[in-house]
Amino acid sequence: MKLQPRHYLMCRPSYFTVEYIINPWMDPEVPTDTALAVAQWEKLVEIYGQLGHKVDFIDPIPGLPDMVFAANGATVVDGRVLGAQFRNVQRADEGPAYSAWFESAGYDVKAPKHVNEGEGDFLVTENFILAGTGFRTDPGGHAEAQEWFGRPVISLQLIDPRYYHLDTALFVLEADQVAYFPGAFSPGSQQVLARLFPEALLVSAEDAAVFGLNSVSDGHNVIVPPQATQLIADLTARGYNPITVDLSELLKGGGGPKCCTLEIRA
Ligand code: ARG
């Protein structure tokens, strides 16, 4: 199988810490180790390099501890960028910072009119853009993405606050194939997913709770948290190559491998 090299944008967690609460994983009382967060993140960068993927970097900004979660910074499809507009004031300045990076790199960037948290809530399959709502991204942002990218956007309702972004409950394996935790979605959205992806890999509550769905697939290699043991076995059984990366420090902020990875789709 000939794999396409991917192009990612990442942000070193130089200023990572947990100093506010905007999701149930965050507890400012629990100490964080920034040096360990950086070391774990560097491992992820190293693996992308070994797999032949290209990684660009945006400079971290002091006072924006969640900026490491690059996936939220924008959505890029067919070389077109939809900027992010964050739900919470603590992350508001990240949107313009990421948009400025794309503008200076020469991309066509649309300033968002509605709240959308980038690839946290927009996941791109071959034929669809899957779009989460319920906690962060506004449904108006879904319509905006559909119009800007010219691709059908499928709105999905998230119902469990631990899975506040779509990328904590679902990831794209390849083309039009996905893995997801059904319990994160409303009954209607579960039916939509079952209809669109009858062959999907269904992931257990246990693997979801260790952020197993926050994985990154290039179509064959899947970067997955080591704690998601059943998922790892299921991926192997389906012929994928799971590669474990432990981002335990960043999980204290409610993020994993996918959250750290913004895909730039040419
Ligand atoms: N603390 C961040 C927040 O709650 C974590 C974001 C994780 N990113 C993601 N793509 N799920 O916004």
ipTM (interface pTM): 0.97
Which residues fall within 8 angstroms of residue 174, CB to CB, at 6 or more apart? Answer: 217, 219, 220
Ligand 1 center to 2 CA (angstroms): 32
Residue type, 31: P
Average pLDDT over residues 93-113: 98
- Which one, of 3, 9, 14, lies nearest residue 249 by Cα? 14
- 13-28 per-position pLDDT tens digit: 999 999 999 999 999 9
Give the per-residue pLDDT at 1: 58
Judge contact between 166 and 211, C-beta under 8 A. Answer: no
CATH number at residue 122: 3.75.10.10
- 108-131 per-position pLDDT tens digit: 999 999 999 999 999 999 999 999
Which residues fall within 8 angstroms of residue 258, CB to CB, at 6 or more apart? Answer: 71, 119, 167, 171, 214, 215, 216
Q: Domain for residue 2, yes or no?
A: no
pTM: 0.97
Q: Report the range of poorest mean pLDDT among 1-5, 23-27, 134-138, 210-214.
A: 1-5
Whole-number Å distance between alpha carbons of 161 and 145:
24
Is residue 121 lining ligand 1, measured as CB closer than 6 Å? no
Residue with token string 């020469």: 106
Residue 120 CA: nearest ligand 1 atom is: 10
Q: Domain for residue 182, yes or no?
A: yes
User: What is the domain count for the chain?
Assistant: 1
Give the per-residue pLDDT at 95: 98
Give the per-residue pLDDT at 3: 86
**What is the domain extent for residue 228?**
7-263
Active site residue 260: no
Q: Average model confidence (pLDDT) for the chain?
A: 97
